[in-house]
């Protein structure tokens, strides 16, 4: 039996999702809102798989996350909102626009990773101008990631933050101290989310 050509499994899976949506009572009843919790759960399971370093585990969890993408796309297509092809076309166009160092023939390609990221942010700003520094940052993000995104957006070093009181019983003081630690991590080029996850894993061996 010939090996599937690149892209064939994705087309087959799309057909499977359309059939499941039509013939499975549970899947037929789902909406974008009812599926939201599963999308969140699968995203966290992907993060956990990354932490394990197990490629097979990561492959499986990425498949579960891909299921959510296809599921939402099938629901949207039924409603006439957009198709899975629209989703793929949109992200492809975005990647070409935001990576001119790869796709534009007249753009220098000898850029550092930091320069590439700076250009990405500049291009993104022209696409979606911000009214406030916080535009586009989801408030529902976990607190540590929310703090990281806000401080990155503001570009504030730890020295610019209000002094962090050390009263162990004061919630505001503890919050200020946590924010200062996040700022210190960013100034050192450390991802605070990954640093904290690693610290927790060291104390909770499995």
pLDDT greater than 70 at residue 161: no
Q: What are the domain boundaries of the chain?
A: 12-88, 138-194
Q: Which CATH architecture has domain 12-88?
A: Orthogonal Bundle (1.10)
pLDDT greater than 60 at residue 189: yes
Residue 137 has a pLDDT of 84
* SS3 (DSSP) at 194: helix
| 193, 151 Cβ separation under 8 angstroms | no
Per-residue pLDDT tens over the stretch 52-104: 899 999 999 999 999 999 999 999 999 999 999 999 999 999 999 999 888 88
Q: How far apart are CA 108 and CA 111, in angstroms?
A: 7
Task: Output the CA torsion 164→170→172→173 (10° steps).
Answer: 10
Residue 32 has a pLDDT of 97
Residue 141 has a pLDDT of 83
| 5, 12 Cβ separation under 8 angstroms | no
| 155, 171 Cβ separation under 8 angstroms | no
Residue 155 has a pLDDT of 74
* SS3 (DSSP) at 105: coil
Comparing 106-115, 134-143, 164-173, the range with the smallest average pLDDT is: 164-173
């Amino acid at each position: 039996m010939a090996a599937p050509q690149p892209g064939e499994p994705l087309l087959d899976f799309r057909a499977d999702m359309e059939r499941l949506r039509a013939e499975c009572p549970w899947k037929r009843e789902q909406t974008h809102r009812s599926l939201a919790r599963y999308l969140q759960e699968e995203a966290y399971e992907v993060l956990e798989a990354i932490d394990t370093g197990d490629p097979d585990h990561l492959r499986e969890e990425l498949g579960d996350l891909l299921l959510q993408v296809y599921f939402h796309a099938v629901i949207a297509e039924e409603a006439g909102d957009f198709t899975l092809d629209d989703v793929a076309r949109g992200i492809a166009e975005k990647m070409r626009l935001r990576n001119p160092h790869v796709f534009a023939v007249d753009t220098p390609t000898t850029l550092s990773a930091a320069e590439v990221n700076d250009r990405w942010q500049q291009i993104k700003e022209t696409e979606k101008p911000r009214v406030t520094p916080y535009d586009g940052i989801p408030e529902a993000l976990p607190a540590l990631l929310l703090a990281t995104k806000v401080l990155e957006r503001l570009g504030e070093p730890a020295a610019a933050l209000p002094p962090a009181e050390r009263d162990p019983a004061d919630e505001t003081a503890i919050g200020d101290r946590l924010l200062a630690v996040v700022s210190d991590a960013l100034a050192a080029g450390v991802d605070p989310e990954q640093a904290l996850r690693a610290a927790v894993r060291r104390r909770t061996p499995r």
